[in-house]
């Protein structure tokens, strides 16, 4: 099982329920395919550095999960097929990135 992190940007014209449905869709896809969710974060509406599809902002979400390597390709295909997703990036975390992500999560919990 490898440790991964995915950041994706949702279209800013989506309603709150459409955003929730989309996030649940991708989380469900991971869990159904044997992944274990470590953390989920909703970063909210943020201004983009440059326009994407003529949009200047988007809803950012982060998933941190462990999964077998063969799950990532179909997972990314689902992102490409969904028109609500403007951009996404999945990275495999090494031991240093895992430690940093855990430290960041603990800091967020302490501030909450």
Strands 2-10 and 85-92 turn out to be antiparallel
Number of domains in the chain: 1
**DSSP letters for 6-45:** EEEEE-TT--HHHHHHHHHHHHHHHHHTT-EEEEEEEEEE
The residue segments making up the domain with residue 91 are 2-111
Q: What average pLDDT does the segment 75-103 reach?
A: 95
Q: Phi and psi of 106, rounded to 5°?
A: -65, -40
pLDDT band at 107 (very low <50, low <70, confident <90, very high): confident
pLDDT tens digits along 25-64 = 999 999 999 999 999 999 999 999 999 999 999 999 999 9
Residue closest to 78 by CA, chosen among 3, 2, 8: 8
Are 5 and 34 in contact by the 8 Å Cβ rule? The answer is: no
**What is the CATH classification number for the domain harbouring 24?**
3.30.70.60
């Amino acid at each position: 099982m490898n440790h991964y992190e995915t950041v994706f940007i949702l279209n800013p014209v989506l309603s709150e329920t459409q955003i929730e449905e989309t996030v649940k869709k991708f989380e469900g896809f991971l869990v159904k395919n044997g992944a274990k969710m470590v953390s989920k974060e909703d970063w909210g509406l943020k201004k983009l550095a440059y326009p994407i599809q003529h949009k200047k902002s988007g809803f950012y979400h982060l998933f941190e999960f462990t999964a077998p390597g063969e799950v990532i390709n179909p997972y990314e295909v689902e992102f490409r097929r969904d028109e609500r997703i403007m951009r996404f990036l999945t990275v495999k975390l090494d031991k240093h990135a895992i430690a940093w992500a855990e430290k960041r999560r603990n800091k967020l919990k302490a501030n909450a």
